[in-house]
Structure 1
Amino acid sequence: MSLFWRIFLLNAAVVVVAMALLLGPYVTVSKHVRLGEAEVVVSGAAVMLVINALLVRFFGLAPLKRLSQAMTTADLIRREARPDVVGAGEVADLTRTFNSMLDRLESERAASSARILSAQEAERQRVARELHDEVGQTLTAVLLQLKHAADRAPAALGEELRLAQETTRGSLDEIRRIARRLRPGLLEELGLASALRALAAEFTVPGLAVRHRIDRGLPPLDPESELVLYRIAQEALTNMARHSAATQAEIRLRSSAAGVVELLIRDNGKGTGGAPEGNGMRGMRERALLTGAELSFGAGPYGGTEVRLAIAITAGSTA
């Protein structure tokens, strides 16, 4: 039934009931209205208005309210349940149209995000290659020149040149570290497990211990899924190191009999505290959408934060 006829019939039902009461033997009105009769009429009108408001609110416009709430809370980077299509008519058609629009927008956003992230990865590889090949080689040459000069300089000047050597060597190590983070060479060469172990070692510093537990015999993943897993682990550890004040963290990679590979990043920090999601979390959600993975954030078993990513293995996945 359409919204128009639903509201019309509800109102008509209230009016018919009121007329039946007035025409029946239970309610009578004299030619000269008395106070008691006026009170009856006013009370009846008030009751009709209340009943009409309740019927329209909870029966006539309830589907529109549910649809309005769904429109208000819709988020294209979260896989949420669609509002149910109830009955037929304009509201049902509107709900179906809204669900179809969400499906189309999610598909378009996923395709757009895939192109953007692909371009980002290509740019990261270019920058990492330039840092490693050009800046790295230049600093290596500077190191050799400093060593050559230090070996032939007087003692006092030689000490200063050696300090410059150490500073240059530290800068070279930092550039190589940045290049590794921009372009995970271990992921391409040795696979996801080795890359995650190296990532745990990279974030292990004084005051923060990062452990890794990676199951053996994990099912093969396609390169895109492996990159998504690695980048989400990297972003989660970066957020943890910056904001959580944690002293312990864990990377867990495991598979289930249901054909799902699950990544867990846990820490014992202060947690999110109900803070809204920042760009880092939304970026992780966008990456998860690329592979149809399920990503969730919550409280960890150690009182900190837990990031959970589950990727279903498809029959066409390759190592």
Structure 2
Amino acid sequence: MPRYVPLFWRLFIPNAIVLGVACVVLILEPANGRVPALVGGLIVLVLVDLVLMRRAFGPLERLTELMRRVDPLRPGARIPPPGPASEVSVLAAAFNDMLDRLEDERRDSARRMLDEREDERRRIADELHDQIGQHLTAIALQAARSADTADEDAARQLRTIHDGLLVGIEDVRRLARELRPEGLDALGLVPALVNMLERLSQTTGVRVVRDLQRDLPPLTTNAQIVIYRVAQESCTNAIRHGAPQTVWVTLAADGAQVSLTVADDGRGFPASGAEGSGGIRTMRERAVLLGADLTIGARPGGSGTRVDLRFDPVRA
């Protein structure tokens, strides 16, 4: 970077020049009590000084405004070099370097947090499915056997208990599936998405149109989890808040990019408060993990919402 003139001297030298010019003018043309000349000279000096100060501090003000707009949940934004070499350009470069370090650290922290969270989800899902589910199934079978040998009133109560236990077993299995997609580890990303979307459509009655490309580039476990969770959260938000009739889910590879798109024809998010909701913030935090671009807005050409997740699988 070329050597720059320090801000102190860039302020001092113009002021010294202005004062020197004023001194020369007064030497050549003394005021001799002419107040209007003195007032006019003062106004000219103030205006010149104002213009010089504005030029000196303008880049710093622009830099401050850009720094206020930086959002840690939307990584990649950087401050362009503000004009010629100066303290401001050095400060901008240092700020960009700091953003690089913070985003790298945030991504590493998000990756560790996701690993710990998914391990905990897997452990709880296994306990729900293998232990609690099996205990409830054994009790349900015992109630059914006891109903066969009990009198009519007791048999009716036992069958009621049996039916309630079956509902509880199904709830436990549903919770286990939501905690950890059972097909993600065994079958892969696309089959797990198909199962999730089919269950969602059957449960809610909303038509789900899916276009899922199977020959995707190699994806890490974290990338698959992020895609699955963003698709799940986007569909859930659309159905819960937008009351749509149709949801479209598209997963494809476009050159070096992998993209997930979830769109619906519902009411869309409210004008205010949507970005601050917990679900959207969670999706943005997951996108940070992959260094992905996550955009949420109105569906082009119609009502509803569209969520786009794009990332480079090599960098994820």
TM-score by length of 2: 0.88
Aligned to 2:242: 244
Structure 1 residues 23-43: Cα deviation after superposition (integer angstroms, max 9, x where no partner): 56xxx555333xxxx234323
Q: How does 1:52-91 map to 2 (within 5 A)?
A: 52-57=49-54, 59-85=55-81, 86-91=83-88
Partners of 2:31 and 2:276 in 1: CA distance: 68
What amino acid maps onto 1:31 in structure 2?
A: N
Change (3 A) 1:247 1:18: farther
Aligned to 1:10: 14
Aligned to 2:98: 101
Partners of 2:172 and 2:73 in 1: CA distance: 34
Partners of 1:163 and 1:150 in 2: CA distance: 10
Aligned to 2:307: 307
Aligned to 1:189: 186
Partners of 2:260 and 2:288 in 1: CA distance: 15
Aligned to 2:149: 152
Q: Percent identity?
A: 38
Partners of 1:117 and 1:74 in 2: CA distance: 24
Deviation, 1:168, is 1.3
Partners of 1:20 and 1:270 in 2: CA distance: 72
SS of corresponding position for 1:277: coil
Aligned to 1:125: 122
What amino acid maps onto 1:32 in structure 2?
A: G
What amino acid maps onto 1:298 in structure 2?
A: G
Change (3 A) 1:16 1:291: same
Partners of 1:206 and 1:222 in 2: CA distance: 31
Deviation, 1:97, is 1.6
Change (3 A) 1:259 1:102: closer
For the 8 Å contact 1:14–1:48, the answer to whether it is kept is yes
Greater displacement, 212-221 / 172-181: 212-221
Q: Which runs of 5+ in 2 are unaligned?
A: none
What amino acid maps onto 2:213 in structure 1?
A: D
Q: How does 1:250-269 map to 2 (within 5 A)?
A: 250-256=248-254, 258-269=255-266
What amino acid maps onto 1:251 in structure 2?
A: V
SS of corresponding position for 1:83: coil
Deviation, 1:216, is 4.4
What amino acid maps onto 1:311 in structure 2?
A: F
Q: 1:165 aligns with which of 154, 159, 162?
A: 162
Q: 1:177 aligns with which of 174, 194, 198?
A: 174
What amino acid maps onto 1:105 in structure 2?
A: L
For the 8 Å contact 2:268–2:304, the answer to whether it is kept is yes
**1:203 has 2:200 as partner:** yes
Structure 1 residues 156-205: Cα deviation after superposition (integer angstroms, max 9, x where no partner): 43233222222211111111011011111211111111111111122223
For the 8 Å contact 1:263–1:308, the answer to whether it is kept is yes
Deviation, 1:123, is 0.4
Deviation, 1:115, is 0.8
Aligned to 2:292: 293
Deviation, 1:234, is 1.5
For the 8 Å contact 1:294–1:309, the answer to whether it is kept is yes
TM-score by length of 1: 0.87
Partners of 2:40 and 2:265 in 1: CA distance: 64
Change (3 A) 1:32 1:88: closer
Q: How does 1:216-231 map to 2 (within 5 A)?
A: 216-231=214-229
SS of corresponding position for 1:133: helix
Deviation, 1:120, is 0.4
Deviation, 1:132, is 0.5
* CA RMSD between the two structures: 2.3
What amino acid maps onto 1:288 in structure 2?
A: A
Q: 1:232 aligns with which of 223, 230, 236?
A: 230
For the 8 Å contact 1:298–1:307, the answer to whether it is kept is yes
Structure 1 residues 245-285: Cα deviation after superposition (integer angstroms, max 9, x where no partner): 333212111222x2322100112222222423323222222
Partners of 1:200 and 1:17 in 2: CA distance: 78
Q: For this pair of structures, how many residues does the alignment match?
A: 307
For the 8 Å contact 1:2–1:88, the answer to whether it is kept is no
What amino acid maps onto 1:71 in structure 2?
A: M
For the 8 Å contact 1:2–1:91, the answer to whether it is kept is no
